Amino acid sequence: MGVEEIPKETLLEMYRTMHKIRTYEETLAKWYYEGKSPRFDISAGPIPGELHLSSGQESAAVGMCIHLKPEDAVIGTHRAHHFAIAKGVDLKKMTAEIFGKATGLSGGKGGHMHLFDVSKNFSCSGIVGASFPQAVGVGIAAKLKGEDYVAVAVGGDGAANQGTFHEALNLAAVWKLPVIFLIEDNGWAISVPKEKSTAVAKNSERAKAYGIPGVSVDGADVIAVYEVAKEAVERARRGEGPSLIEVRTYRLRGHFEGDPQLYRPKEDLELAKEKDPLRNFEKLLLEKGIATEEELSRIREENEKEVQEAIDFALKSPYPEPEEALKGVFAGGD
Amino acid sequence: MARKLPMYKAISEAIAQEMERDENVFVMGEDIGAYGGIFGATSGLLEKFGLDRVRDTPISESAFIGAALGAASKGMRPIVELMFVDFFGVAMDQIYNHIAKAHYMSGGQVKMPIVITTAIGGGYSDAAQHSQCLYGLFAHVPGLKIVIPSNSYDAKGLMISSIRDDNPVMYFFHKGLMGLGWMPSPEEAAVEVPEEPYTVPIGEAKVVREGDDVTIATVSRMVYEALWAAEELEKAGINAEVLDLRTLVPLDRKTLINSVKKTGRLLVVDEDYMSYGMSGEVITSVVEKVGNELKALPRRIAYPDVPVPYSRVLEKFVLPDKEKIIAAVKEMVQ
Ligand SMILES: Cc1ncc(C[n+]2csc(CCOP(=O)(O)OP(=O)(O)O)c2C)c(N)n1
């Protein structure tokens, strides 16, 4: 299967989402540094706290989520904006959450690492490796309820060294659950390179240990990700059990904003730019005559407008009432 | 010779000096090598001691924290860092069932000279999974010593004591005390630190301000909130004594009770959760011995029993601070 067999509409939708993610992340970065100069102070500015951006890793999210329905669950990581956007999470509410506003997804209680949108079956968290077992549970629910939804657990290459990854793979395999384990291999866990922390060259090889399919795919090519993800989702929906996918990507920015990246060789950053999935996809669409420059630039303009509207919405929204902090620990009232 | 050092440098200096003194001391953890620890507590160690003794680990916490036990059983003195206290859930069994209990269960055959270091505290919008203190949770488990320095002098002396101790020590440094530049930190936390090695005994509280009207017992960053409150209270004619407990296990009940006997009033300030924690333990320790000598009911300002909210306004509302201390003391003294 190649790009020719994918409907143009789908391809343009993928382009739109990838470009939207990139625009969003780069715009958010600008807002993050507001109020943080001349001296960088993590607690200052309209977006305080840590910020992990996904620029360069769009293909993993888009190649996967294009196959998903709203009922399918995606459980992301600390670096999850790309998956949230690809899963259709409302951009305004998500932005307001990141700005700590009352109109945010969680009224400002969660923040950038803890985005929840039940209507889109999306969640993420700040604990590395937490997604894998949780996705197994979604798979159990699908099976018990007799539904055909699937669960996608996202983790970085660093997360694949966590015990939860191995336990969850085994459990999903013995119970033949509709779960897709997606490892976004950006080569780094903060400052620790994958080859210094991981005993195998490719995390997809670890699928063998649990008797499930494992595929490694080049994240620079969103079409390749699309194809591999399609197969895994279809397999899960058919009730044939879990799959493991490794998407090889590059981090275009630091681990978090403000990361001096002193540990990172220059060549690695250069390679990241070369492997930029958005640029590659754009080139492909034009070279193959699938889309014209005008079509793409219209999409880009629409994205820029949408992102700006989301930022404006967040900026204009009120902060929550301070007393709200004490509410909502338990369901059914406190 | 003494010079002013930020806390992060005092900690790494203490570790370096102990590594020079004793070849059995080594360090493991995430991003503790080239990065020098996300909060700088291991800065410069890799350059000095090399990859064998300064080991960047995969994100496999139960493996490397459990490994500390094995190494200790063979006479090594491991120091393991786990970035944020919030992450300990994934390695809890090795800590509370094994490291904490091995000496007791083995009838004293096995010693556990392990230091587990981690960052605590909020106030910079890092939300519910990156802002907790949780030292109360570990203090609850028999067999773990709990060390929580509030300034660079204590940080160095207590680190050296911790490394030389034959028992497992959990060493908590507050992110907002480290003097990192990119994270707000009170200037008062960076004090004169002697260049040569020295110890601060584990189990001794310190009166950091003398007063007759009320004892404010606290630890870590809250020591400064208490001191700032005491300054203002003095203007209102109230003399507060501020007690830096410094270690929770063992707890220096003698100094605590002596102080409360003098002042007749006790306020505990704690950035950790309120219920079943440090504040309850400290108050009970006093009430059991000298409850009938109190001039006012003991009080506590602790983190209300809610997760740490993200939005700045919400977090500020729940975080103990100078203003809340002043208000409580005024009510107690009236
Ligand atoms: C249990 C746990 N351990 C450590 C951390 C600190 N931490 C946050 S992100 C990160 C690196 C994660 O690397 P990877 O899984 O490859 O994802 P990436 O950041 O590269 O997207 C670490 C060590 C954490 N959040 N949770």
Q: Reply yes or no on whether the pLDDT at B164 is more than 80.
A: yes
Q: Reply yes or no on whether the pLDDT at A1 is more than 80.
A: no
Which of A163, A322, A323 is nearest residue B60 as measured by Cβ atoms? A163
Beta bridge partners of A123: A75, A116
Q: What whole-number distance in Å separates Cα of residue B179 and Cα of residue B193?
A: 14
Q: Is the dihedral of CA B89, B94, B97, B99 positive or negative?
A: negative
For a ligand 1 pocket test, name from B39, B56, B59 the mutation site with the most ligand atoms within 8 angstroms of its C-beta. Answer: B59
Q: What whole-number distance in Å separates Cα of residue A233 and Cα of residue A180?
A: 7
Beta bridge partners of B54: B27
Q: Is A127 in the pocket of ligand 1 (CB under 6 A)?
A: yes
Asked if A191's CB is within 8 angstroms of B31's CB, the reply is yes
Q: What are phi and psi of B303, to 5 degrees?
A: -70, 120
Q: Reply yes or no on whether the pLDDT at A129 is more than 70.
A: yes
Residue-averaged pLDDT of chain A: 97
Q: With bands split at pLDDT 50, 70 and 90, how would you rate the model's confidence at A334?
A: low
Alpha carbon nearest to ligand 1 atom 8, residue: A128
Instruction: Note the Cα A255 to chain centre separation in Å.
Output: 14
- Report pLDDT for A333: 79
Long-range contact pairs involving A278-284 (C-beta distance under 8 Å, separation at least 24) = A278/A18, A278/A19, A278/A22, A278/A58, A280/A220, A280/A221, A280/A222, A281/A14, A281/A15, A281/A18, A281/A59, A281/A222, A281/A223, A282/A15, A284/A3, A284/A223
Residue-averaged pLDDT of chain B: 98
The structural domains of chain B, ordered by start, are 2-194 (3.40.50.970), 206-333 (3.40.50.920)
pLDDT, tens digit, 9 for 90 and up, residues A19-61: 999 999 999 999 999 999 999 999 999 999 999 999 999 999 9
Non-local (6+) Cβ contacts of A15 within 8 A are A281, A282, A285, A291, A296, A299
Q: What whole-number distance in Å separates Cα of residue B69 and Cα of residue B110?
A: 10
DSSP string, A223-258: HHHHHHHHHHHHHHHTT---EEEEEE---SS-SSTT
Q: What is the mean pLDDT of residues A168-180?
A: 98
- Report pLDDT for B1: 85
Interface residue ranges in chain B relative to chain A, Cβ cutoff 8 Å:
30-31, 33-35, 38, 56-63, 86-87, 89-90, 123-130, 181-184, 304-307, 309-318
Q: What is the mean pLDDT of residues A96-114?
A: 98
ipTM comes to 0.96
Q: With bands split at pLDDT 50, 70 and 90, how would you rate the model's confidence at B251?
A: very high
- How far does chain B reach from its first CA to its final CA, in angstroms? 46
- Report pLDDT for A195: 96
Q: Is B130 a catalytic residue?
A: yes
Which of A128, A263, A326 is nearest residue B304 as measured by Cβ atoms? A326
Could you tell me which residue, A333 or B139, shows the higher pLDDT?
B139
Q: What share of chain A in percent tops pLDDT 70?
A: 99
Cα angle for residues A264, B37, A53 (degrees, 5° grid)? 50
Which of B56, B87, B313 is nearest residue A319 as measured by Cβ atoms? B313
- Report pLDDT for B243: 98
Q: What is the mean pLDDT of residues B293-312?
A: 98
Single-letter amino acid, residue A97: E
- Report pLDDT for A235: 98
- Please state the domain extents for chain A: 3-27+53-190+198-317
Beta bridge partners of B302: B270
Asked if A197's CB is within 8 angstroms of B57's CB, the reply is yes
pLDDT, tens digit, 9 for 90 and up, residues A242-258: 999 999 999 999 999 99
CATH classification code of A3-27+53-190+198-317: 3.40.50.970
Cis-peptide into A242, omega within 30 deg: no
